[in-house]
A and B are shown apart, each in its own frame.
Chain A
């Protein structure tokens, strides 16, 4: 672990520059993706990636250079490229960062069970093969796949103010999906994949429920195939955690990103319906809504001690009892906006610069069991497992779709319905939050696929949420 640290430190110390501040962020990432599709093991996809980003600040202007050449000469050359960039662009720079404070922290951070070896590749294939083989023989089951993704990241951040931050993390992504087809319609049921990922070791596989899931997931795909479409019209909506995570992500997380509010993302990811002046004033949701940035849940995907600019991370309420308090903005955005934020300046790798990202964005549990949530609904739909998401560039008008729907009538769960979709407007939707599930309904979930930034970056984010009930939502089904 951190084998390269002594040499990197030595090379960093030997770098020469005229910049008033500079930093180095080294990232070494390795991983494997294993998959068994319809009982056939697919070839493993392995990777090893290594490089560093040098960032300089010259007369208040920052610029970066990322390099795959980690030799002393390679790092020095990158530093000089960054410095040249900063000097050239000085007349055109938007920001003057001379007064922005920098980190001098020193810390180490490790994923839970990082010191425990992950099972060997042959054992993983055996597990995946068993789950694949457990999918029943049924001619309507036309495709199924079990997979495990593993990513291991070592990162070292050093800067000229003396910061020295090391992080060693392991991320696990189990998945199983089954597709059923009846000659006309097809329905897919999924466990994990884009909806589940955690830090840790083999314990993540167990927590995900992958082991023994084959027959259950196949049965649910067949149930969907035979189910009627979701009815159209306003109904109460019970969202389970694996849809809540998407709802939080798109209609709380992105609109609260401070760089969007400052306009950086208007050409690509978009802007926000939230304004800088809304913090401390805007009633974002009902009084039951409590939203936190929480880097302290060890297994959650974006738990860490410091972000990629070296800021120390700690739990913060972004929304308390429905009132908007704090944006998702790292040190730079806080400096620009004059607002308190969180430590969420993050990069997806060594070749992309840190920007405001979501990290762990959670809804705090309420006080109702799942049974109580259902009993409180007279006419509604339960939806679980996101499969479709679309929202406008200000993160307001949305339409989301799930794999699994179930009607709720007079406080009881009824039949399965397929193609459950719903649409709404963020600024109004969270005010219709009527009940929040307790800790027994909550799950720690996350996705590796949040896209944003120019240059583009896809990054892992965590979302923990209980089940939640929303009143009077516009729901509808599909065509088939």
Chain B
């Protein structure tokens, strides 16, 4: 893998070539994504599958006379070969544009903004990290996935905009299984691997594992008090992120939060939610070339901003605010509340302590009614004391209830949850969330 500086230089060289190759009045935008990743899977505390992936691509948009088309091209890393690929791509797009009608919703950003963010922390040595993980896992049934390496994102336009984002990171996402099949989930992620930091995180998970050895409690369907840990709340927020805050989904009545944005439903006044781009791991510019500002989405439980990309801005007469093509948040930040972590069990009293949720989907999307499963370390608590792990249960409830009428408290402490997603490429998304104490959660199966 070429070094980060080499990558930035190679991207600039492609941009320069493209600028020279364009014919008036053609315009372009060029996005860049590359990564070099060590991937190691673990099962039963050993390495099950390991490898390394090196990939890079550009997303090339050519615009001419109100017509435009997008082409994603894999780069080879060889400058000459990549110019050749871009040249062939330019030809393909030039042949495509005359076949298209003019696009009434084309809205280009002509600002020549500049952005540069390089987080060049030294990466952990894979061999050392694997040795520490397997040593810690001795005598335990550990299953997990370690991903590490540099990630680069770039953007340039014929208007002179240029953005570069690079971060070295690692993410070890793992589970410890008790012999009864119950498991605790944890992760150790960031920029700099610390042996002590990893050992502490591992020990926390190991301590939770001990509770899972108690006899399993099976609950009948019904309504229960419940505490949703930040990782459980992440699943709910992740589900809402699909179209929930999207200007197009809201306008076309496909958003799960359409009643919320119509003012017909609201959350608890304690709910404040921001797309907090600054200070997050995700780039400060969108894939279509708009700078991304911090954006308050929910204020005091009521609708505030929505995510607007250039197409929605043109179609609905709104101001674009740097949303991605799919108007999906990548840096959600929910304000904490008053409940101190050390009092969670006491305040829960009797009910469910839910560490994680899993496989959420809608029972009734316009009503924001969700269903999903408990997974990993869900406990039955009585009088503030953990009694037993609980067998997998299904919930089915409205978000307006969970984060609205039934929300009793949010924790003061929040957890930074870095996405472990590696579909196509390693994600840069994150959420900073508190835990939520709810008066009533409906279990159905």
Contact = CB atoms under 8 A, between A and B. Distances in A.
Interface of A: 40-51, 53, 62-71, 74, 78, 81-82, 85-86, 88-89, 92-95, 120-122, 125, 142-143, 179, 181, 184-186, 188, 262-264, 266-268, 270-271, 351-353, 355, 387-394, 396-397, 399, 401, 419, 421, 423, 425, 451, 454-458, 477-480
Given A40-B105, A392-B359, A479-B369, A51 B55 contact: yes
Contacts of A455: 37, 39, 53, 145, 147, 422
Nearest to A70: B76
Contacts of A268: 145, 173
Interface string B104-122: 1110000000000000000
B372 A390 contact: yes
A392 B56 contact: no
A68 B254 contact: no
B71 interface: yes
A425 B40 CA distance: 34
B362 A45 contact: no
B103 A43 contact: yes
B100 A423 contact: no
Max count, chain B CB within 10 A of own CB: residue among A48, A121, A455: A455
Given A66-B51, A185-B366, A92 B46 contact: yes
Contact of A392 (B50, B147, B369, B375): B375
B83 interface: no
Contacts of B89: 48
Binding site of A, secondary structure by majority: helix, strand, loop or mixed?
Answer: mixed
Contacts of A351: 53, 55
A149 B367 CA distance: 31
Interface residues of B, number: 89
A397 B76 contact: no
B46 A94 contact: yes
A479 B335 CA distance: 29
Contact of A45 (B51, B54, B70): B70
B217 interface: no
Given A92-B130, A185-B366, A267-B144, A179 B43 contact: no
A397 B392 contact: yes
B53 A66 contact: yes
4 closest Cβ contacts across the A-B interface?
A478-B364, A64-B51, A143-B252, A94-B46
B54 A353 contact: no
A71 B54 CA distance: 14
B207 to A, nearest CB: 19
Contact of A40 (B104, B175, B362): B104
A81 B52 contact: yes
Contact of B54 (A44, A68, A389, A451): A68
A66 B358 contact: no
B233 to A, nearest CB: 17
B363 A401 contact: yes
Contacts of B131: 92
Contact of A393 (B77, B360, B371, B392): B392
Contacts of B127: 88-89
Contact of B71 (A47, A82, A92, A95): A47
A480 B392 contact: no
Given A68-B77, A88-B127, A266-B143, A94 B52 contact: no
Contacts of B375: 270, 392-393
B199 to A, nearest CB: 18
Given A65-B51, A94-B47, A43 B177 contact: no
B254 A454 contact: no
Given A51-B74, A393-B373, A46 B92 contact: yes
B214 interface: no
A401 B103 contact: no
Contacts of A93: 46-47
Contacts of B41: 264, 454
B44 A401 contact: no
